[in-house]
Structure 1
Amino acid sequence: MIVTLIVAAEVAFWILLALGLATRYLLRLRAVSTVLLVGLPVVDLTLFALIVLDLRGGATAGWTHALAAGYAGFSIGYGPSLVRWADRHFQYRFAGGPKPKGAPKYGAERTAHEWRICRRTVASAAITLGLITALVPLSDGAAHVATFTGWYLRLGLTAGINVIVAGCYSLWPKEAPAGAIVEEGHVVGWKIPQQR
């Protein structure tokens, strides 16, 4: 049942996001769009409330409960950036907005991009761990507590790896190919060698 709730939450997230952007750019109903987009975190809170009710109702704690907490944590940590990404692409496709740029590939811009991803990952892991910690008292026995606490190591490892990757970009920034003209981390042209 919990997996079904997670799938339903994912579907609801994308439907609300599509409706929110469509009402903003196609129907020009900004207030309605804002209400729909505010509903995105409500989906996550509803999912978490349902898993709490499931555990309080006597359900055996399992990996699916922790996965639901992980879904909520990821959605809260990465949700705003996903909404901005979808907004830029929707605006470009349907409202005459500028073509969205991809992630920067080189230099300080790439390093900053990696640290932004790192912050989102660490925030998602911290939120997930907080939600899982809130579920531990509701679980029914030491074996089931281990189901939740095993996530501490997994999420800590994920966040740690992301910090290492971002740190490597800080120590060894990715350089553009020789002769490339780079703006905001993107190659925009090539230098033409002067002929003698």
Structure 2
Amino acid sequence: MIVGLVVACEVAFWVLLAAGLAFRYALRMPRTGMALLLCEPLLEVVLFTVTAIDLRNGAEPDWRHGLAAVYIGFTVGLGHSTVTWADARVAHRFAGGPPPVKPPRYGWARAVHEAKVAARWILSAAVALALLQSAVWYVGDGGDTTSLRAWQTRMLWVIVVNLVVAASYALFPKKEPRDPGARDRADRAVAQPADSETGTGRSARS
């Protein structure tokens, strides 16, 4: 049941996002669209409540409860940036909004951008860690918390990897090509759209 609910929450997230943007721009009903977008956090509340009730009713904690905690954590940390990312592109495409701002690609500005991206991922992992630890305390010494601890280890690795990536851009900043032609070729070689909110090479959500 927990896994099915996680999948349902993920599907509902994108459905609400698409509906909210459709009402906001295509149907010219911005208040209704905003109301739909503001319903997004309710999905995490429902998932958290159902998971807590399942544990309270005596369910043995396993990887499914850990998955629910991780999903909630990453939605908290990355959900807003995903909505902002989609909103900027739909506004530009259908409502005459300004084109999405591309993130800086070189130097200290790129390092700052990558630090912000890493901060969102670290926040996601930290929220997941807190929820997992709450589940461990809730279960107590009498229950098997091995799977929950395993999820905590994974979240620690997420934090470490993002710290290393952000530090690498700060310590070894990417230098701008001196040849303008090379810079133009590099810009054309970028296969995916860049974004100031979600970063390059890393997705907005897990």
What secondary structure does 2:60 align onto?
coil
Aligned residues: 186
Root mean square deviation of aligned Cα = 2.3
| Offset at residue 87 of structure 1 (A) | 0.4
Matched, 1:5 2:40: no
- Identity percentage of aligned residues: 41
- In structure 2, stretches of 5+ residues that fail to align are 189-206
TM-score of the pair, normalised by structure 2: 0.82
Name the stretch that deviates more: 70-79 or 96-105: 96-105
Work out whether residues 176 and 187 of structure 1, in 8 Å CA contact, stay in contact via their aligned partners in 2: no
1:193 aligned residue: none
1:72 aligned residue: 72
* Larger Rg belongs to: 1
1:47-90 CA-to-partner distances (Å, cap 9, x unmatched) read 11111111112222110110111001000001111111010111
1:173 aligned residue: 173
Code of the residue aligned with 1:122 in structure 2: it is: I
| Offset at residue 187 of structure 1 (A) | 5.5
What secondary structure does 2:145 align onto?
helix
Q: Greater share of strand residues, 1 or 2?
A: 1
What secondary structure does 1:89 align onto?
helix
2:117 aligned residue: 117
- In structure 1, stretches of 5+ residues that fail to align are 189-196
TM-score of the pair, normalised by structure 1: 0.86
1:44 aligned residue: 44
1:22 aligned residue: 22
Name the stretch that deviates more: 102-111 or 137-146: 137-146
In 1, Cα distance between the equivalents of 2:168 and 2:180? 23
| Offset at residue 139 of structure 1 (A) | 3.2
Code of the residue aligned with 1:97 in structure 2: it is: G
2:96 aligned residue: 96
In 2, Cα distance between the equivalents of 1:69 and 1:158? 15
Name the stretch that deviates more: 150-159 or 102-111: 102-111
Q: Could you say which structure has the greater relative contact order, defined with CA pairs below 8 angstroms and 6 or more residues apart?
A: 2
| Offset at residue 44 of structure 1 (A) | 1.1
1:15-51 CA-to-partner distances (Å, cap 9, x unmatched) read 1111111111112222212211111111111111111
| Offset at residue 112 of structure 1 (A) | 1.4
* Runs of at least 4 residues off by over 4 Å: 140-143
Work out whether residues 60 and 143 of structure 2, in 8 Å CA contact, stay in contact via their aligned partners in 1: no
